[in-house]
A = this chain, B = another copy of it.
Amino acid sequence: MELWYTEKQTPNLSLSCKITKTLHMEKTDYQDLAVIDTLQYGRMLVLDGMVMTTESDEFVYHEMISHVALNTHPNPERVLVVGGGDGGAIREIIKHSTVKEAVLGEIDRRVVEVSQEYLPSIARALTNPRVTLEIGDGIEHVRRNKGKYDVILIDSTEPVGPAVGLFSREFYQDVYEALTPEGIMVAQSESPFVNQDVIRMIHQNLTGVFPIKRLYLASIPTYPSGLWSFTIASKKWDPLQVDPANIRAIDTKYYTPEIHFGGFKLPQFVAELVNE
């Protein structure tokens, strides 16, 4: 018997993985949550029918949402992840010895608990003494903590349902105010092949909020098109002006000092998306 999981990535495109079994399925207060075991990519976390992360390619997303900003800031001490309940971004953040407190602001407690049970290689840092779990509305947490954070990472699902607010100009203004005067934010910003409207929307909504904003790319096989974008916005520090000698040596599988800069080298059609 063959079992396959299929994600309809768009109405006209789907990706399927052969699975050995379902490890967990439930309907939480916020979403359908599943962990399945795939032969191609290992264990896979699925929310509302969309692949969130897999054991075999999660390193790309989690390293790339974290290390570009953390190496752009000269001394990141307090870092917030909005969303990201699987803990992968937190695991990367605490690789930086400068970080004194990494806060996870995840709305769905069950994502955290199920990740800790079934995806320990991703979630393992959530019990680190430098990590604080804040189960609740990330937007509210950002509003309540003005001037607190050096770096804020928006590790959200796509802009549908509860995540819509995480892509609005009002939220970006709140993020700006939750940051220190040298603060930096990064938002996952979808695929430049499939979600050009989202990239443009994020870019427009950040315009006038942060003085510096840039798009960078990374390859994530289990996301639509395999090419993913991140948008970094900064008050003072430009990720392209980092001195390579100051990039902290950390154990990674994707990110390197060369990739730090290489990710910003955009294909022509992507550059045209964000050139105003």
Which residues of A approach B to under 8 Å, CB–CB? 4, 6, 10-18, 38-41, 57, 60, 193-194, 217, 219-221, 224-227, 252-256, 258-259, 261-263, 265-269, 271
Contact = CB atoms under 8 A, between A and B. Distances in A.
Nearest to A217: B219
Q: How many identical subunits does the complex contain?
A: 2
Nearest to A225: B221
Nearest to A20: B12
11 contacts: A11-B18, A12-B38, A13-B16, A13-B17, A14-B15, A15-B15, A16-B16, A193-B221, A227-B227, A254-B269, A258-B265
Contacts of A224: 221
Nearest to A8: B16
A86 B265 CA distance: 29
B193 A57 contact: yes
A40 B18 contact: no
B267 A265 contact: no
A38 B13 CA distance: 9
Given A10-B40, A219-B227, A271 B253 contact: no
Contact of A267 (B13, B17, B253): B253
Nearest to A17: B13
Most B CB atoms within 10 A — which of A4, A40, A267?
A267
A160 to B, nearest CB: 19
